[in-house]
Structure 1
Amino acid sequence: MSSGFLGNDASFMLDVVVSALVLVVPLLAYSLYTVKVSHNFVRHKNLQLLLAGVLLVAVTAFEIDMRLHGGWVNIVNKDPSQPRLDASQLDEVRQILYIHLVFAVSTPLLWGVTIYLALRRFANPPVPGAHSRLHKTLGWLSTIDLTLTSVTGLWFYYVAFVG
């Protein structure tokens, strides 16, 4: 099993996803700045599509990695003869993972709908219009959801591999 690059023995792809989770929130904030303050709707659109694409690729590769290694428990406890976490610790990490999965599953669904509707209902290049009010609501819900995905994902990573 390949080791990651963040100084512990998490998998390479897990480290890639964690790095993406760290980078996505500031990039998301910048995207919001471009639309709210700069009124640069094209840049906002392009940043959102870039973020969605990068996260889609990273999460897909991560899911493949999870399947290849037999799941997260096998990645956490690489050496069954010397497990990193005992059964009670694994239960705690599992509970954190379940909290994370609530957001990790809802985020692509909500964000996907937000992007799909924006691409269908805004002009090209994008300008404010009849869809703006719903888009703003969906966008903020997606932003909160994605931020919680990042926070809970980092929490899981910390408990499973660092703490």
Structure 2
Amino acid sequence: MAHGFLGYRSTFMLDFVVSALILIVPLLLFSLFTVKIKRNFSLHKKLQILLGAVLLVAVTAFEIDVQLMHGGWQNIVDQRETPLTPEQFQYVRNVLYVHLVFAVSTPLLWATTLFLALKRIPDPPKPCAHSGLHKKLGWISTIDITLTSVTGLYWYYVALVVSS
């Protein structure tokens, strides 16, 4: 297996998603800044739709790459220069399970938040009756994507970086 562009025995798409996980939280914070501080509802809407679409495409391409092209994450981890012990492998698997809780809930929350916003918030966007629920869903989604990022980065670290 070729090295990913981050320098580990990974895949291009795995390294791409890891890079996206590093960038998504600051971009999301910028989007929140545009709406909370600048009160630029239109830019916030555009950024959220763009971030959602980019993440959907990236995660779909990632899953195709990992599952179909490489036969699953275990095959990628097995290409490490230093093989994992059974205990390390179990730990990596457990970290992945925790990550998947957030990785699965994030697109569901984000899609719900976007769908309801597009349906209930006027165009051009401005505060309305849906704003209270939208704020709650938005903050839950923000926390969820942040936890997705943190756990995903940690999984990459323990699965591919430590003692490679």
SS of the residue 2:123 aligns to: coil
Give the match for residue 74 of structure 1. Answer: 75
Measured on the aligned residues, the alpha-carbon RMSD in Å equals 1.1
Amino acid at match of 2:60: T
**1:84: how far off?**
2.4
> Which runs of at least 4 in structure 1 moved beyond 3 Å after TM superposition?
none
Give the match for residue 149 of structure 1. Answer: 148
**1:151: how far off?**
0.3
Give the match for residue 131 of structure 1. Answer: 130
Return 5+ residue gaps in structure 1 as ranges. Answer: none
Q: TM-score, normalised by structure 2?
A: 0.95
Give the match for residue 103 of structure 2. Answer: 104
- Cα separation, 1, equivalents of 2:54 and 2:86: 34
- Cα separation, 1, equivalents of 2:39 and 2:2: 44
Once the two structures are superposed, what CA deviation does each residue of 1:37-60 show, in whole Å capped at 9, x if it has no partner?
Answer: 000000000110111111111100
- Cα separation, 1, equivalents of 2:105 and 2:158: 22
- Cα separation, 2, equivalents of 1:48 and 1:74: 34
Give the match for residue 88 of structure 2. Answer: 89
Return 5+ residue gaps in structure 2 as ranges. Answer: none
- Cα separation, 1, equivalents of 2:70 and 2:115: 33
- Cα separation, 2, equivalents of 1:4 and 1:124: 42
Q: Number of aligned pairs?
A: 161
Of the structure 1 ranges 49-58 and 13-22, higher mean CA displacement relative to structure 2 is found in 49-58
**1:96: how far off?**
0.2
**1:3: how far off?**
2.5
- Cα separation, 1, equivalents of 2:60 and 2:36: 31
